[in-house]
């Protein structure tokens, strides 16, 4: 794991809070040279701390307001094949191999419940899928966020 120091956490905070601001403006706000900020950003990208800079999109605003978490049990030895097949299903926005009940956990979006059922039926029919278990999300309680983690890492770096 790479060391993230206090300046890194201040840069990450600005990046999360003001993602469309220029490196020059970040440097001005932080009171450091533009080259320093750019070098830190480049290093954090190289080290995998920063993994993307694109816009965050809303599946609901794209016409897919239904969100479900689907546990997928896979025939032994077919995890990679099923993972590859999941990548071809556009309604699967994330998938992880997991421990516990099931082998994979997928975040799946749908236009409505009927569409969600169609997507799940598609998953069930994939070679290597034994069974699925679906949990439909009712309301987002904590949106995806990383700023509290960045702040926690920053406090640790200062200590």
- Asked if 44 and 50 count as a contact pair (C-beta separation under 8 A), the reply is yes
Q: Which distant-in-sequence residues (6+ apart) come within 8 Å of 57 by Cβ? A: none
Say if CB 69 and CB 140 are below 8 A apart. no
CA–CA distance, 42 with 26 (Å, rounded to integer): 14
71 in Cβ contact with 104 (< 8 Å): yes
| Residue recorded with tokens 């983690």 | 149
pLDDT per position as a tens digit, 3-55: 789 999 999 999 999 999 999 999 999 999 999 999 999 999 999 999 988 88
Residues 6 or more apart whose CB falls under 8 angstroms from that of 5 comprise 157
Average pLDDT estimate for 81-87: 96
Q: What's the mean pLDDT when you consider all of the chain?
A: 93
Q: How far apart are the first and last CA of the chain?
A: 18
Alpha-carbon dihedral 6, 8, 13, 14, rounded to 10 degrees: 120
pLDDT, tens only, 47-83: 999 998 888 899 999 999 999 999 999 999 999 999 9
State pLDDT tens for residues 109-128: 999 999 999 999 999 999 99
- pLDDT the model gives residue 71: 96
**What does the alpha-carbon distance between residue 2 and residue 125 come to, in Å, rounded to a whole number?**
42
Residue reference for tokens 């932080």:
30
Q: In Å, what is the CA distance from 81 to each residue of 89, 90, 106, 109, 153?
A: 13, 17, 15, 22, 37
Domains in the chain, please, with CATH? 6-55 (1.10.10.10), 59-137 (3.30.70.920)
**pTM, rounded to two decimals:** 0.84
């Amino acid at each position: 794991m790479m060391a993230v120091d206090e300046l890194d956490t201040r840069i990450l905070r600005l990046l999360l809070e003001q993602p469309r601001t220029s490196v020059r403006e970040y440097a001005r706000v932080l009171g450091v040279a533009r080259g320093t900020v750019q070098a830190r950003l480049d290093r954090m990208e190289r080290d995998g701390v920063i993994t993307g800079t694109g816009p965050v999109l809303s599946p609901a605003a794209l016409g897919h307001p239904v969100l479900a978490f689907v546990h997928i049990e896979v025939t032994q030895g077919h995890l990679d094949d099923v993972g590859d097949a999941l990548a071809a299903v556009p309604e699967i926005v994330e998938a992880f191999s997991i421990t516990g009940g099931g082998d994979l956990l997928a975040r799946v979006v749908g236009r409505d419940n009927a569409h969600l059922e169609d997507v799940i039926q598609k998953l069930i029919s994939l070679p290597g899928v034994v069974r699925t278990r679906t949990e439909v999300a009712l309301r987002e309680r904590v949106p995806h966020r990383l700023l509290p983690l960045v702040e926690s890492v920053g406090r640790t770096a200062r200590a």
